[in-house]
Structures are given as structure tokens and as C-alpha cells.
Amino acid sequence: MFKLKPLAALTILGSLLSAQTVFAQEEELESTTIEAVAEESAEANLGPVEEVVVTGSRLRSSTYTSISPLQIIDAEFQREVGLINADEILQNSTNAGGQQIDLSFNGFVLDNGPGSSTVSLRGLGANRTLLLMNGRRLAPSGVEGAPSSPSVNLVPRLMIQRYENLLDAASSIYGSDAIAGATNIITKKDFDGFEIEVYSGQYDRSGGDNTTVGAAWGFNNDKSSFGIGIEFTDIERTRYSDRPWTNECTGNVEITESGEIRRQDLYYQNLGYPDVGQCSSLSLAARTFVPGTPFGSIYFTPGSSNGGWGNFSESGDPYTGLAADGDGDGVGDINFLDYNLNGSPQDLASDLISPQEYLNVMAYGEMTLDGDMNVTPYFEVMYNTQDYAQTGRNPQLFPTVPALNPYNLCNPDAENGVDCGLAYDAYLTNPNIVASFGNYYEGLCANFGIPLSFCTPSIFGLLTGGYGPVETLPIVSVQGDRNNVTTEMEQVRVVLGTSADLPFLDFGTMGNWRGDVSVSYTRSEGDSQRLGIREDRLDLALGVYSTTSTPCENNVGAVLAADTAGCVPVNMYAPSLYPVGSVVGDFATQAERDYLFGSRDFNTVYEQTLFSMVADGDLFEVPGGEMAQLAVGFEHRIDDIQSNPDEVAAEGLFWGFFSDKGAFGEVDISEVFAELQLPFKFNKPLIKELTFNLSGRLTDHEFYGENETHSVKVGYRPSEPFLIRATWGTAFRAPNNRELFLLGSTGFTTVFDPCYIPESALGGVGDPEEGAYIAERDQRDPEVLANCRATGVDPTLANNGGFNSFSTEVQTGGSLTLDPEESESYSYGFAYEQDFTNKFDLSLGMTYYSVKVENTVIEPSTGYIISDCLYDEAGTGASVFCDRIERDLSDPTDPRIQLMDLGFLNRDLERARGIDYNLTFRDTLDIGVPVDLQIVLAVNRNLERSLTFTNPDGTVDYESYEGEWGFSEWRAQSGVVLSWDKWRFNWQTRYLGAVAQDPDAVDAFSDAFTASDTCLGPPDDELCRDYGETGSYMIHSLSLGYAGDNWYLGMGVRNLEDKAPPLADPSEVSGVKARAIGYGYDLMGRAFFLNASYNFDLGF
């Protein structure tokens, strides 16, 4: 229970109070302000003083001032330069950092599900950035799994007045999550009459055009106000083929020792293969693989074969490493470009940005009743929908076809089947293959006195003879399989409250008390549907569950879903599945497709109820005549998630697709808080003002108990134009519903297992012990071997031919034992507004900030779990992380890891440090006509973004990210506005500094025969390595607008120079088509836009 007794007593006042003082409309800051620090008051109104509540405080004030670092982004200016979507505006601000999740993350598994965008201040993550609307918390929304953050896609576009980024610890004011700060989205509330507004953006190239149409009506008078607005947004699909920088395959980006950027692959060319250009060949289809045989994949070559496989041919010779040239024309028989999903027509037709539609409806109202208490009931309602349809890239499908399957290529008793051992011998006895073999081993044969004519595979005993029926893995890609997903989101948010003066508290020195009581309720519901091939149905149709490999027979007692009935035998070797060139095929019959395809459906409902009471007023007079102010309050929040997967999603029944069991749970949080401000005005030299602001909050969480947060802020004004300020505070982030209640979702990743014998410890070709374990060659550490044995694995028997990396299923899930993340942060800086001349206005600001987050909740990586368990120096296998590794120990030679548990835990320490600079300049130029000039500059200098974690053995690992992708040392935005008569010209510039790779991750220079792809090395060429850096990046946007008496028309261009996103090797930087995503670079190119509005004065 609560221990902060004095606060609790004060909150009894709340029966007449309400959660958060209504946001009165402050005098409008200059609409040209792009980002300005709100340290100074707005210019005085000539009318009655209207009190406001500034983001970062619960106290009312007659001036718009803040000791806290606060940056304001004016939505009107953003619209004038072509930015209308909240995610773009907030993610591109100088306060954002790291990799931001936006709509370019197609095909990624995201916490909030498909089609969601989030905001991360200071690069500390979306979970540590609190999102508010009109001062009240926004609830998470999304679909699938367990959404944990609000999706800014659902924020209206035309109905936003400004965004306020609070940039210090704000948990003592707003509660959980405000570690990096809070973003407060302020909606318009000054409607007067009926207004319509249209925004239209069109790109230089096809795709991506977006249109928003909105209408609003409202009125304001002395006693009441009301407004309602509706807007509709349509964003067209953009395909990879629609932009020149993504209309290509994903491939190499390497840099030579002399600084040349190379993309052309030389590795395959040097081995005799046809030219593959720059394309990586990691997603090849229209082929088949035969496990346990010496040959590799064989590719569909209709009407011919370089061996005995009928319509299939070997691509590369297993004994020479050269391209297989069965026809003797000097070029390899297989051109990988004809089999590559990467760069195929279907690949380039998939979505860079998926189409989406949004509907937003907002209404608000308030009415002040007669009486001394000025009782003012009010409400806010917001309704949003999102329709999203994603077409992703086609994945591979490679099921196991049993040996006796009647359609199996390597079943000699099947129709069109062959004995793949004899087919392989036919390849090795192909005259052209024999000649190539002899030329390659001519020197070796000569050493043994073997003439060239006898230097053949058969002399070396490489012919295998017949295998009989063996299982195969056809590797194909099927149209519409797992690459299309549609989602529908719907969110309702209702705020009901009452504010009132509290004259009964006006006694003694106390006065001006006002309270507010409110309840806000948010319900978001998301539905997703994805079509794909059911693995259980496919296995049944192939005879996997039959002892005789009979399709559709289950005589081994396998427990299958009820809807596997109606089985249809499937031919995985039908030519329709192997279209050379187009690569993506389909099943031979509609009946096969109808049976195999299923639907993966998800319904996610997130509900948040927040009851809030707050009262604030004057306590007593402090030296200088100002009044000390106090705010006290109470909040109770209930977050409930019901994320319901169907059986296909919960059990992972799609082939090769992760399982997601959803999340179910509810958490209650109760909090009391207080804020005290002491404004001393001395009006003496060097000490004009001194203001202290103290705040605290006590939280009682249903699962982890209680925690306290505090904040101290000091504002010192030695003279009227100069403010020096400092803040210190603690903050916390309670484990969210994803971390608490996620039941378990799975996926697949590549895991290195050191318990398997490395290649260096196996006998090689020609070795007397070929393929056997040779202990004296084993370079693994003794503790690794000991840990393997302690966990049930004999590291001298686990043998996969020297290959130690496997595709492994991983699972993550929630935990009710997690502790909250805790942070400590401080900032200091100054604000200066010149007063030495009235010829121009100039204001400067600087803020240094430091944030330290401890006990962070993380999902441990597979590498960390393997390292902690198997590299533990104790060698006892006693690490707690060993329990997270599940193996199949039935075969000592293949104790394969079946599942790794990546469930959440508290572990790391993270830091962010930097400096914010701000400048605003205003002047009036006389160039025949008076022209008002305004220049606004916001700059961020990133000093540190780091992560520290300590292993259970006490080893400390420190990683620093500043200067790397997402954490450039410099970020800046500038705005220049010229206004004359009714015209207005805007010029915005956005700048990102150069970034580089983590120095520890930079590859060594090498050639195409080792680790690189585009260099052959000395003496005729250079060495090269993967390229993962980029220079500074700057884009410009221009607009011109004209404001009539009741209308506005503007037009302009974004990304004036049509600057492309930077190029980087995909193995080094997260992105698409070797272009980085989520780091603030424009993927879409130059766009032209038009916005127009008209206000109908209806005489209200």
C-alpha cells in the first residue's frame, strides 16, 4: 500500500477535482516556428489573461514558460513544407534517434504488428517515450502478439496544432514510460465556423501519392466551445520497381583499399558461372536438394540435364569448385539470375510502402456553468480506422518429400523418377565434366604417374552407384504464399471530465485553487489475415505421416488439426512449380492449392482506462511577491490486452512461419503525485529570478509493487533576457503488457553451436581418417567441451561435417517477475533573448542532457545465451541460460538445438548524452515592401549512446553507438520563412551527419576467394570489404503560399534535389535493397504537394 501519507491526504480533495487541467489556448506562437525552445513567455495578450498548462507540469500559468527542456514543432509550418503525417514529423525531429519503426518495415516481425509506426526520443526506444494527446496518455495499439506502444499512424493529420517534445525525465509528472521524455500532441481547439482543408502529395515517379481531405466545424464563446472534425487519408502503394534505388536486386556493396565502391560480383564469374551482376544468390528457387549426397542443389533445366536427372542439372562441381559445364561451351550450365528470387519480377513488384487508408474523427466540447465555482464539464472523443494491405517478397518453400513418394524425383519407381545415385554417376561420366576434372587435377595425377586421359572421377572412386529411393527437398516459391497480409485497425478514445474552481480552499494564504476529475477510456481493436501454405496439410499430402510414403495417409498416429481432412496428393515436382526466369510458380492443380492454403487470422484488443484527479493552486507568498504553487493528484490505470490468434497462428501451422500464441492479461496501477513550484523574484543585479520546481510520484504496480520517482528543476535568471536552468530527475518504465503477458511467439534464426565438431578437427579428403574426429586438431577451449558434456552433449560425437551453424527455432514470452526499468537523468543549459536592440529579435538556447537507464528489460540474443552457457569458465553447465537451450538428445551424433528461449529479463544499462542547440531570428527587411524574415535552427549533438551489460561471472561488456547508423554525431533542422503582404515562402533543410560502422564490426580486407565478392586481390586487383558507412545527408523542401481573407492555397516540393537514400551492404546495415531504412533517410524521392483550406463564416 502507499506510504506517502501526506500526498494521500491531499488527494481526498479529488472528489471535486479532475485529472488534468484543460488545455486552454495559449497565445499562438509564431506559426513559422519549426522547433523552438519554450523557455520564454509568449508575447502578452492585450485581453484577459488566460491560464495554460505547459507540457511537463501540472501547474497552471499565465505565461507559456518551462524550466524543462521543451521543443515545439508547429504543425502548420510542417504542412506548409509538405509534411503531414505525425510519424514523419516526429521521427525526423532532431530529438529522435536510433532506428525508427515506420511503414518501410514490410516483412519484419514488429512488436506492434504490420502497418505500425512508433517514435523513439533520444534513440532510447519507443517503449521509453511517452506519447500524450492534449496532456493525456495514449494507449498502445496494434495487431498480433502484444502491442506495447501507441501507433502514431492513427494520429490525425489536419487536426493537429503542434507537437511538444518534453526532453527530460517526466515520470514524476506523467508516470511510467517517460524515461527519454514525452511527446504531447496538441489538437486544434480554435475552430470558428466551418472549414475544409485538402492536402495532396504526388511524387516525381509512380507510387506513393497521398491525399488527405478534412472538414471541421466549431464555435467558441464566453461560456462554451465545441468542435468536430473528420478527415480521410489515402496513401497509394509504392513498389520496389517504382524507385530507381530499389528497382534492383539486393547485392554487394564493397569498398576497396583505395576507396572505390564496387558492386559487381566477381566470385561466380571467376569460377566459370554466367555473370550474376551485383545480385546476391541467397534466395534461389526452382531447384532441389538431396540430403546426404555429394552433389549440391540441382536446378530445373527443362528438356536437358548435365547428369541423369532428366530435367535437372548440377550447378557446381563438388570436386573442383568450378561451375558445372556439361555442354562444354566454356560457361557454367546454370545462370543463377534465372533462379534468383532476389530481383525477380515478383520481388520488384512487392511493396516498398504498402497502400493504406485512414479515417479520423475528433470532437471536443466544454461548457462553463453558472455559479462561483465555474464548473466546466468537458469531453474529447477520437475515432480512428486504418486499412492496410501489404504485398511482401516471395519466400522459399522447401518441404521434405519422403523417399517413396510417388512424385519424388529421386524415387526410381515413381513416374519421372530416377535413381539419383546413378544420375550423379552420369554427371561424373559426362565427357565435358570428365575433361574439366582432368584439367583441374592434372598436376596431382601427374605426381602419381596417372596420364591425363585416366585422370577421371572414376579413377578416384567418386562414382556412387545406385542409391535407390531417397528423400529430397524441392526448393520452390509459390504465388501468394505467406507474403500478403491485410490488417484493419479501429480505435475509440473517450475523455469525460469536469473542472471547477475550489473557493472553499481559499483561506489564509491559499487561493486560486482549481481541480479536475476525468476518466479516459481507449479501446483499440486490430484484425490481421495472412494466406499461406499449411505445413501440416503439406506433410500429410506428401506422405510424411505414412510408413510407405503414401500421400494423404496417416498411419503413424500423428495428431493433426481437424481441418486437415479432405487431403489432396501434391506433386512437388510439377513443372509449374519451376518457372525458370520468373522463379515464382504454382501448384499443378487448383485442388492442390485449395487444400494447402490456409488463413492465419489474429484479433487483438487493447483497452486502457485511466481515472485521474488533480488540484492545483496557490499556497503562500514567497519573497518577491509571487505565489508558491502546489498540484496534487491521484491516478488509477487499468491496461488490458486480449490478443487472440487462431489455431494456425498459435501453433505455427504455416510452413516455416513463426508461431504466435498472443497475449492475455490485465494490470492495475495506482499512483499519487505532487508538484511544488517556488518562484522567487528578487529584481536585483545578477539575481532577477530564482525558481524551484519539485515533483514526486509514488506508484503501486500490481505485479512488482511500489516505486518512487522524483524531480528537481531550477531556473535562475541573472537578468531579464538570460535564463540558466538545470533539471534532475528519476523515471521508470513498468514492464508493459507485451513483456508481462506475451504467451510466446516463435521464429527462426541462425545459431552457431560450438558443441559440434569444427571442420578443422575432422579428417580431410585423402586423410586416413577422412570425416573422423581428430582430437589433437580440436582448438575449442576445454571449458567449452566441459560445458557441452555437462549439458548432455558429447562434443566429440556431434558431427555435421564441420558445419556448426543451424536454422533454429527461437521463442520469446512474457514474465510476471520482471522489475521496472529505472533511470536517472539531468540537464542544464541556458536560454537568451536579446534586448540590446529592437531592430531584430534573436533568441538562443542550449541544453546538455544525460540519461542513464538501469535494469533494462531485454530479450537476450541467441549468441548471448550460447556464450553464457557454453563458454562459462566454470565448465559445469550451471549457467541459468543453459535452461533456455532445448536439444534433441536422441542421437548423440546430431544433438540439434530444437528451441531457444529468448524470454524477457532485466539486464542492461543504457546511456544517452548530448547537447541541443536552438536559435530563432526575426527581422523585417525593407526591399521596397516590408518582408518579415524568420530563421529557426534546431541542432542536436550526440555525445554518447551506449549499452553496458555484465555477465553473471562479472565480465563487463561496453558498446558505444554514437557516430553509427541512427546515432549520427550531428542532426539539424532549419527553417527560413519570408512573409510579405499575404504571401509566405518557406524553406526547410534537414541534415544528418556522417555515420560509420561499429569499428569492432568492420570486416578485414579480403578477396573473392575468402570473404569478399567484388575483388580478386593482388597481384592484378585490390582487396575489399563490405561497405557500411555514409557521408552527411541533407535534403531541402520549399513552398509558397497565399493567404486570402478566409482561404489559403500553397504548393511546394519536398526533397528538392531528389536525393536517394544512402547505399550500404545489407550484411552491415538493416535495410531493403541495400538502402538503409528507419534512420531518417528519404526512401521516396522528390514530391510535389498542394494544400488548400477555406473557412466558411457561418455567423456563430
Q: What confidence score (pLDDT) does residue 192 get? A: 83
pLDDT tens digits for 633-672? Answer: 999 999 999 999 999 999 999 998 988 999 999 999 999 9
Q: What confidence score (pLDDT) does residue 62 get? A: 65
Cβ neighbors of 292 (< 8 A, separation 6 or more) are 470
Length of the chain: 1100
Residue 293 identity: T
Going by pLDDT thresholds of 50, 70 and 90, the confidence category of residue 752 is: very high
Q: What is the b/e burial string over 915-953, where b = at least 16 CB atoms within 10 angstroms of the residue's CB?
A: ebbbbbbbeeeeeeeebebbbbbbbbbbeebbbbbebee
Range with lowest mean pLDDT among 21-35, 327-341, 694-708, 839-853: 21-35
**Mean pLDDT computed over 967-991:** 97
SS3 per residue for 783-840: HHHHHHHHCCCCCCCCCCCCCCEEEEEEEECCCCCCCCEEEEEEEEEEEEECCCCCCE
**Mean pLDDT computed over 134-146:** 93
**Mean pLDDT computed over 713-718:** 96
Measured between alpha carbons, how far is 791 from 787 in angstroms, rounded to an integer? 6
Going by pLDDT thresholds of 50, 70 and 90, the confidence category of residue 864 is: confident
In this model, does residue 8 exceed pLDDT 50? no
Q: What confidence score (pLDDT) does residue 879 get? A: 86
Q: What confidence score (pLDDT) does residue 107 get? A: 80
In this model, does residue 281 exceed pLDDT 90? no
Cell numbers that stand for 585 in this block: 510458380
Q: What's the distance, CA 498 to chain centroid?
A: 39
Going by pLDDT thresholds of 50, 70 and 90, the confidence category of residue 60 is: confident
Q: What is the DSSP annotation of 708-753?
A: EEEEEEEEEEEETTEEEEEEEEEEEE---HHHHHB--EEEEEEEE-
DSSP SS3 for 154 = helix
Q: What is the DSSP annotation of 237-277?
A: -EEGGGSTTTSS--B--EEETTS-EE----HHHHTTPPP-T
3-state helix, strand, coil in the chain (%, to 5): 15, 40, 45
DSSP state letter for 762: B
121 near 96, Cβ under 8 Å?
A: yes
- 660 strand-pairing partners: 745
Residue 985 identity: F
Q: What's the distance, CA 786 to chain centroid?
A: 39
Measured between alpha carbons, how far is 211 from 1089 in angstroms, rounded to an integer? 10
Q: What is the b/e burial string over 872-895, where b = at least 16 CB atoms within 10 angstroms of the residue's CB?
A: beebebebebbebbebeeeeeeeb
Q: Report which of residues 683 and 940 the model is more confident about.
A: 940
Q: What confidence score (pLDDT) does residue 1099 get? A: 55
Range with lowest mean pLDDT among 57-71, 490-504, 762-776, 1027-1041: 762-776
171 near 91, Cβ under 8 Å?
A: no
DSSP SS3 for 95 = coil
In this model, does residue 33 exceed pLDDT 50? no
In this model, does residue 7 exceed pLDDT 60? no
895 near 888, Cβ under 8 Å?
A: yes
Going by pLDDT thresholds of 50, 70 and 90, the confidence category of residue 31 is: very low
In this model, does residue 1098 exceed pLDDT 70? no
In this model, does residue 1100 exceed pLDDT 90? no
**Mean pLDDT computed over 690-704:** 96
DSSP SS3 for 468 = coil
306 near 497, Cβ under 8 Å?
A: no
Cell numbers that stand for 1087 in this block: 514530391
**Mean pLDDT computed over 727-734:** 96
| Angle of CA points 55, 61, 62, to nearest 5° | 125
Q: What confidence score (pLDDT) does residue 873 get? A: 83
Measured between alpha carbons, how far is 502 from 476 in angstroms, rounded to an integer? 73
Backbone angles phi, psi at 761, to 5 degrees: -100, 15
SS3 per residue for 20-31: CCCCCCCCCCCC
Element (H, E) at 513: strand 511-533
Alpha helices in 947-1048 (DSSP H): none
DSSP SS3 for 972 = strand
Measured between alpha carbons, how far is 768 from 762 in angstroms, rounded to an integer? 11
445 near 451, Cβ under 8 Å?
A: yes
Measured between alpha carbons, how far is 148 from 667 in angstroms, rounded to an integer? 13
pLDDT tens digits for 763-775? Answer: 765 456 767 898 8
What's the mean per-residue pLDDT of the chain? 91
Residue 908 identity: D
Measured between alpha carbons, how far is 1016 from 670 in angstroms, rounded to an integer? 66
SS3 per residue for 659-712: CECCEEEEEEEEEEEEEEEEEEEEEECCEEEEEEEEEEEEEEECCCEEEEEEEE
For the sheet containing 1024-1026, what is the strand order? 261-262, 254-256, 1024-1026
Element (H, E) at 444: helix 442-447
Q: Which residue reads 519507443 in cell numbers? A: 126
729 near 187, Cβ under 8 Å?
A: no
Q: What confidence score (pLDDT) does residue 191 get? A: 81
Q: What confidence score (pLDDT) does residue 45 get? A: 31
Nearest to 282 by CA among 342, 332, 239: 342
**Mean pLDDT computed over 511-540:** 97
1012 near 1025, Cβ under 8 Å?
A: yes
Measured between alpha carbons, how far is 669 from 700 in angstroms, rounded to an integer? 6
The beta strand positions in 373-415, using DSSP E, are 376-391
Q: What is the DSSP annotation of 169-187?
A: --HHHH-TTTTSEEEEEEE
Measured between alpha carbons, how far is 306 from 298 in angstroms, rounded to an integer? 10
Range with lowest mean pLDDT among 235-244, 274-283, 335-344, 799-808: 799-808
Alpha-carbon radius of gyration of the chain: 33
SS3 per residue for 922-944: EEEEECCCEEEEEEEEEEEEEEE
185 near 163, Cβ under 8 Å?
A: yes
Q: Which residue reads 456563430 in cell numbers? A: 1100
In this model, does residue 42 exceed pLDDT 60? no
pLDDT tens digits for 159-201? Answer: 999 999 999 999 999 999 999 999 999 999 888 889 999 999 9
Nearest to 821 by CA among 264, 218, 177: 177
Q: What confidence score (pLDDT) does residue 3 get? A: 39
Nearest to 268 by CA among 1007, 1073, 1020, 1008: 1008
631 near 615, Cβ under 8 Å?
A: yes
Residue 573 identity: Y
In this model, does residue 448 exceed pLDDT 90? no
CB atoms closer than 10 angstroms to residue 321: 11
Cell numbers that stand for 906 in this block: 532485466
1078 near 102, Cβ under 8 Å?
A: yes
Q: Which residue reads 541544453 in cell numbers? A: 847
Range with lowest mean pLDDT among 192-206, 626-640, 734-748: 734-748
663 near 738, Cβ under 8 Å?
A: yes
Reply yes or no: is the peptide bond before residue 1019 cis, omega within 30 of 0.
yes
Q: Which residue reads 502507499 in cell numbers? A: 2
Measured between alpha carbons, how far is 689 from 680 in angstroms, rounded to an integer? 6
